[in-house]
Amino acid sequence: MCIAAFIWQAHPLYPFFLLQNRDEYHQRPTKPVAWWDSGEILGGRDELAGGTWLACSRTGRVAFLTNVLELHTLPEAKSRGDLPVLFLESTKSPMEFAEELVTEAHQYNGFNLIVADVSSKSMVYVSNRPKGEPITIQEVSPGIHVLSNAKLDSPWHKAQRLGLNFREQLAKYGKGQIPVKEMVEKLMQDSVKADKSRLPGICSLDWEFDLSSVFVEVDTPLGLYGTRSTAALTIDEGGKLSFYEKYLEEDTWKEKSEKFYIQKLK
């Protein structure tokens, strides 16, 4: 399902700083963060459908995605993981891309998508839920935000908890450098679940309870499901992009990092 906390245009050293957990079935074939064949996209890859949940481009475009929690999904729907790729491969501004997506957003199951161009300081949030309502398109304001499996900055337990802890950790470092791995360890492995009275009541109580922590791990009839990747993507004021991922591979946690300078910000 995924959850992300990020700072956008609100830190003196980091125009953008993102932490994201990807929740998925453990047996689903996945590639860790790497440069794709085109040499222009950097991110993890879902080998089953071919898309991604988080990726960036050499020119400072970033896209990330979470699913919307809903009771019924359409098996014939287009893969949501294609959406970040479509943005990264396009030359449209985040707002132009979002507005063009409106005509086909109904072909996907529930999604929350954020597309950004760091060079132009533009970030846009798009969602095709709730069903029956107009597509949400909004500019993301400078500040700290959390995206879980409802609307951006929705007051769900896991989103509020991550947001509070994120702010507390950031306050410790003030205007200085932020230690990425320390942030990942302290914030993204949090397994504290919500009180059942605070669950949204969309699916079964047990399933929502299992998903209510920042770090998820649950045994299901289809196999283990939960957090199998934590990523930290940061862009500093000099245009250096750092992409760190801690990921699960054959029951072993591994780490990988990639760094490069955004072409337009050199």
State yes or no: pLDDT of 202 exceeds 80.
yes
CA-to-CA distance for 50 and 69, rounded, in angstroms? Answer: 22
Q: Which domains are assigned to the chain?
A: 3-153+225-265 (3.60.60.10)
What percent of the chain is predicted at pLDDT more than 90?
96
DSSP category for residue 91: -
Residues ≥6 apart with Cβ < 8 Å to 152:
112, 114, 125, 127, 138, 140, 145, 146
Residues 118-146 have pLDDT tens digits of 999 999 999 999 998 999 999 999 999 99
What percent of the chain is predicted at pLDDT more than 70?
99
> Model confidence at 157, in pLDDT bands (50, 70, 90)?
very high
CA-to-CA distance for 89 and 81, rounded, in angstroms? Answer: 13
State yes or no: pLDDT of 266 exceeds 90.
no
Q: What is the mean pLDDT of the chain?
A: 96
State yes or no: pLDDT of 264 exceeds 90.
no
State yes or no: pLDDT of 178 exceeds 60.
yes
CA-to-CA distance for 229 and 247, rounded, in angstroms? Answer: 4
Of 5-14, 85-94, 181-190, 256-265, where does mean pLDDT reach its minimum? 256-265
> Model confidence at 220, in pLDDT bands (50, 70, 90)?
very high
Cite the DSSP H helix spans in the chain.
82-89, 94-101, 157-173, 180-187, 205-210
- Return the pLDDT at 187: 98
Model-level pTM? 0.96
> Model confidence at 1, in pLDDT bands (50, 70, 90)?
confident
Residues 80-106 have pLDDT tens digits of 999 999 999 999 999 999 999 999 999
The per-residue b/e assignment along 66-77, b for 16 or more CB within 10 angstroms, e otherwise, is bbbbeeeeeeee
